Amino acid sequence: MRKLTGFDVLLRRLAGLFSDRSLRLLFLASSVRASNEQFPDLYQLLLDGAAILDLPEVPELYISQNPMPNAMTLGSDKPFIVITTGLVDLLDAEEHRFVIGHELGHVLSGHAVYRTMLFHLTQLATRLAWFAIGYIGLRVIIAGLEEWYRKSELSCDRAGVLASQDPGAARRSLMKIAGGSRISELSPDEFLKQAKEYDAVPDVREGLLKMIQMQGTTHPFAVVRFAELDHWVAEGDYETILAGNYPRREDDSDAKIGDEFLAAAKAYQESWSRSNDPFIGLVKGVAETTVGAGERLFGNIFGQRGGGSGRSGGSSDS
């Protein structure tokens, strides 16, 4: 997207409406910055993850006092990571490694610009709720960004596994986020059964309710993330990347926007094919027709231009 004529200028102007410096100053003043002297164990995990994922620069990591388990990556020009004490207390060391790797995936993939934009636009929409036309226009943009945001979370779960090289720690993290710290009371097999039951609801109406429940959310539900990550590891993509088979950063200039669009469309189609949700089945034909038209459009436009992708990392899915 950043290679499209004018898009980068528009993106920077929008991002420039909000100061990265103010965000960083806020956490610099109200949180604890990890270092060799403060939260040294988490800081070492940050250094390890940055080295494994080959980040050009190690971002700052802040620990924020908040009982709600959460982690986020903010900032456009110089992204930084924030983890709440609720999440620190909930997870063990290997699970911390997964979470930090997940956030480093956002940094590496350039997600922070769009995530920060969504953060500010959501706040702006709240202030403009009284102004119907402006609010509706913003909500359309926000809805699109939220869908992208949810997909970016799935991608960065993969980055977290690549950084930790421990799929079991990733599974435990997602179960704890859903059910709390009592890991002895949790079962990966049963949690996966929940995910399958959630996917295969018996009624079209429940499928519609699932879609409605996703509106306004930035993260897929824990069982969905668990199932997607389990499928990715089981299909062998994880082992393929560990073996060294993935796109290299030096080849980014040769990547085409059309190819990226086709890959995204294929990913959606594969997801629909795996789903047993009757509502997904109902709309699948319409959606695939739309995707097919989009493939032809983007293939014609970007195949002729031969533009590059916006990838900034060493692997395709992180």
Q: In what order do the strands lie in the sheet with 32-33?
A: 32-33, 61-64, 80-84, 71-74
Query: Looking at the predicted structure, is the pLDDT value of residue 83 above 90?
Result: yes
pLDDT class for 215, splitting at 50, 70, 90?
low
Q: Which amino acid is at 98?
A: F
At what angle are helices 40-52 and 93-108 packed, to 10 degrees?
Answer: 50
- Which of 37, 94, 95, 103 is an active site residue? 103
Q: Which residue has the higher pLDDT, 132 or 153?
A: 153
Taking phi first (over 0 means left), then psi (-120 to 50 degrees means alpha), and beta for anything else, what does residue 257 get? alpha
In the chain, what percentage of residues exceed pLDDT 70? 58
pLDDT, residue 247, reads: 80
Residue boundaries of the structural domains of the chain: 15-245, 247-318
Range 5-16 average pLDDT: 54
Distance of CA 172 to the CA centre of its chain: 18
pLDDT class for 201, splitting at 50, 70, 90?
low
Query: Looking at the predicted structure, is the pLDDT value of residue 61 above 70?
Result: yes
Q: Which two tokens stand for residue 16?
A: 């420039």
103 carries an active-site annotation: yes
Helix (H) or strand (E) holding 33: strand 32-33
Query: Looking at the predicted structure, is the pLDDT value of residue 25 above 60?
Result: yes
- Per the prediction, the chain carries an average pLDDT of 77
pLDDT, residue 239, reads: 94
pLDDT, residue 132, reads: 53
Q: Which residue has the higher pLDDT, 105 or 265?
A: 105
pLDDT tens for 221-241 read 899 999 999 999 999 999 999
Q: Which two tokens stand for residue 205?
A: 């109406």
This model's pTM is above 0.95: no
What's the rounded Cα separation, in Å, for the pair 192 and 190? 5
